[in-house]
Amino acid sequence: NIKPKSTLVIFGATGDLAKRKLYPSIFNLFKGNKLSEEFAVVGLGRRPWSNETLRDTVKQSLGQNEDDGLIERFCEHFYYMPFDVQEKNSYHELNVLLNELDTKHHIPGNRIFYMAMAPEFFGTIATNLKSEGLTETNGWTRLIIEKPFGHDLPSAQQLNREIREAFSEDEIYRIDHYLGKEMVQNIEVIRFGNAIFEHLWSNRYIENIQITSSETLGVEDRGGYYEKSGALRDMVQNHMLQMVSLLAMDPPLRLTPEEIRSEKIKVLRALRPIPNEKVSDYFVRAQYGPGEIDGNEVAGYRSESNVDPESYTETYVAGKLVIDSHRWAGVPFYIRTGKRLRVKSTEVVIQFKDLPMNLYLNKEEKVHPNLLIIHIQPDEGISLVLNGKKMGMSGGSVPVQLDYCNDCVNTGNTPEAYERLIYDCMLGDATNFAHWDEVDLSWTYIDMISKAWESRDIDIHTYESGSMGPKAADELLERDGNHWWSIN
């Protein structure tokens, strides 16, 4: 159990992400004995808070059932400083505070700068951290950067240039919280740890792969951000393409960040570009209309606050990705993601090819294909759909399902994605963070689609809230003789 000694500096300490995810995650690390007493957290924000205000906020962000004594001890490591990101003086004061904390908490100059605020300042902050000397310490310095990492390839390149002025690639940790999820990390183990799967993992035996990430929530109070982003930039560019890479990559030579990332990058390089006029043959965009979620009536996207009543922003994307590699030639990877759908669920379905001949059913009937289902959330586990004998004397086969529930067996809480990722960064393990090359290639792919969508000639479909998306997404698969395997 390695206990890192470092100071975590959070830009955006008064914000939503810090309260919802970061403070509880750091607390869990502390409680789980993963941090020594030698750590400090410095919260920065524009508001004139004191250490006490921050500590109260941290307390409120933790669950009700925690031990008060432990919370007190934990909160003593938190400090707040009002901060103006454009003001050099702020950086000088911060440096003084960080040096004091190094002495007070016996921290050997290790610093993580966590950008959890509006992305327009990421570049300015990185530049100032370097020019004002905050990256010169006796220990290491690292930068954690939240999405969105740019809005398209040129803006991502610009941002990358700015942060690279101050931090080298191996000091930059680009967060994709899906990479911190237990079952997303399990994809590698299921694939590379099991002889029964890895040998079948190619176009010889796999018919198609489907990834669904559906949400019941709407755009909530993020209309301003979401109008400029849409589901393509918000979910596909990062989370969905990361899952495609993990499912399609070749086995890495070793389990090092370099080897794993290099295999994932090859997948992104092999994604077949789609000519502008063909985009609608491969990608469907849609927007939620009014409907019902869990018995409650909900409004359509265009009536949400901070949303243009004639908005063309997509809240749903379905797509067919083609990977031009020996392993995957001819195997479609279907993805879909959207808001205000019937269920909150992330699942991967691997559909295996049919046997060449059907011995057990009538000629008109089809044997159920074998499926491997990886349940990423809310359930964590895997299911395998096989065929068994139909009970009784009539003969024939029926599908049977073997289920393994990961979170039922591991009764301890699975660590939150953020908990794991913050700890990885403290340890200097960048495996589950996005490398610049991945960001670069994924934007190249996404820009191709969004460019085509900029033209309003391409349909934006509507789907009822509480459904599983528009009909056009079903037709996308039907054209290939496939269909979505239903969720739950």
Q: Which residues bind ligand BG6 (CB under 6 A)?
A: 215, 234, 346
CB 215, min distance to ligand BG6, A: 5
Task: Output the smallest distance, CB 449 to ligand BG6, in A.
Answer: 18
Which pair of tokens denotes residue 198? 């890895």
Name the active-site residue from 239, 326, 368, 461: 239
| CB of residue 9 to ligand BG6, shortest distance in Å | 22
Least CB distance to ligand BG6 at residue 55 (A): 28
Residue among 152 and 259 whose Cβ is closer to ligand BG6: 152
For ligand BG6, the closer of residues 207 and 215 by Cβ is 215
CB of 379 to ligand BG6, least distance (A): 13
Shortest separation between residue 25's beta carbon and ligand BG6, angstroms? 13
CB-CB contact of 7 with 41 (8 Å): yes
Structure tokens at 21: 């995810």
Rounded least distance, CB 371 to ligand BG6, Å = 22
State which residue, 90 or 414, has the beta carbon closest to ligand BG6: 414
Residue whose C-beta lies closest to ligand BG6: 234
Catalytic-residue membership of 368 = no
Angle at 206 between CA 203 and CA 210, to 5 degrees: 115
- Residue closer to ligand BG6 by CB (options 102, 234) is 234
| Cβ distance to ligand BG6 smaller for residue 57 or 346 | 346
Query: 223 or 396, CB closer to ligand BG6?
Result: 223
Toward ligand BG6, which CB reaches closer, 227 or 250? Answer: 227
CA distances, 324 to each of 88, 268, 270, 333, 476 (Å): 49, 10, 5, 12, 19
Return the closest-CA partner of residue 11 out of 72, 76, 71, 90: 90
Among all residues, which ones are annotated catalytic? 239
